[in-house]
Amino acid sequence: MMRTRAAILRELNAPWSVEEIELDPPKAGEVLVKLSASGMCHSDEHVVTGDLAGATPPMPIIGGHEGAGVVVEVGEGVSSLAVGDHVVFGFIPACGRCESCVTGHSNLCDAGGEAFPLGLQMTDGTARHHDLEGNDLTLMCLLGTFAEHTVVNEASCVKIQPDWPLDKACLLGCGVVTGWGSAVYAADVQPGEYVAVVGVGGIGANAVQGARMAGARAIAAIDPVEFKREKAMEFGATHTYSSIQEALENLGDSTWGRGFDKVIMTMGVGDGDALGQAFWLGAKRSKIVVTNIHPTAEQSIAIPAAMLTLFEKQVVGSLFGSGNIRRDIPRLLELYTQGQLNLDDLVTRTYTLDQINEGYDAMRNGENIRGVIVFD
């Protein structure tokens, strides 16, 4: 057993508490990783606010699910990783054996999905992380990357090249693949299409990049925060609007009045009324991709059902951008090294673990595209 530090959430709407914890060694199929960096994603804010009640582990919980670091110890039977390997965590493990994985949908891994709301180790359903009073600590996304060290399942790790920067690579664990894949995979943006991205934070900025790389003719970025609209132009947007209503009023300018072929919803928190309004952004036979998380308590969305048939519109959900951690994390890092994918400008500011609450305050205030915790 070793001691390390982690940011723990003990009750709803409370600040993260940075504490010393005890960490068990990895068991069979697990690895101990020293974190180098962790992205600060809005999904962890959903845990704070309770938006994902019933779908996330019980408290006390160690937050964080965008992590990258170096393997320092491996458990029995680990075959794909060794001490010294550089890894990025996928926020959804890919067991490679369940029906979802073997049919090409590892983003919906059955084994990971079953363990996800428990927040305990996939192998035996027990905890490796404990506070100093001996209480078990659960893990966000089975990872808990708001910690200097963590123990995770081998299925959550993707080995990367040792020269790829870990403070950028950590973002591939969720936000980058989720946004990019929402455009490239879920929306299936084609060359010459008109695309609207609603919400331009860490995920939406990458949806803009994905649409640009897929060859979109015009990309409208919609966000109430001027700073984010300005950044969206750097990532490839051709038009920006402060609201869905403003975008609707300017369809003649952005799409010659026909509407968007693809509408990608990447707001910080999904909203049924906003989705209903965004539905009208779409042209006939358009596809509306819902990537942002809606509160689990929200049970309805304001969509005119008749238009699904009369205009042949589609509304589809997308988890992790319908991507694959083992294919897409290395693929997008290679695109980054080739200068085709911009990761550098996604990181607005870096923080220490002790500054985590300052970082989330900045996110709530619309000051960051993405904050990153950098460990010593």
Catalytic residue numbers, as ranges:
41, 43, 46, 65, 174
Say whether the peptide bond before residue 295 is cis (omega within 30 degrees of 0): no
In contact, 282 and 263? CB cutoff 8 Å: yes
Q: Which residues pair with 263 in a beta bridge?
A: 196, 288
Helix H segments across the chain?
Answer: 42-49, 99-102, 110-115, 166-169, 175-181, 204-214, 226-235, 244-249, 251-255, 272-279, 305-310, 325-337, 356-364
Q: Kind of pairing, strands 239-241 and 218-222?
A: parallel
The tally of CA atoms less than 13 A away on the side-chain side of residue 71 is: 27
Rounded CA separation 179/95 (Å): 23
For residue 9, with 0-12 CB atoms within 10 Å meaning exposed, 13-18 middle and 19 or more buried, which class applies?
buried
End-to-end CA distance of the chain: 21
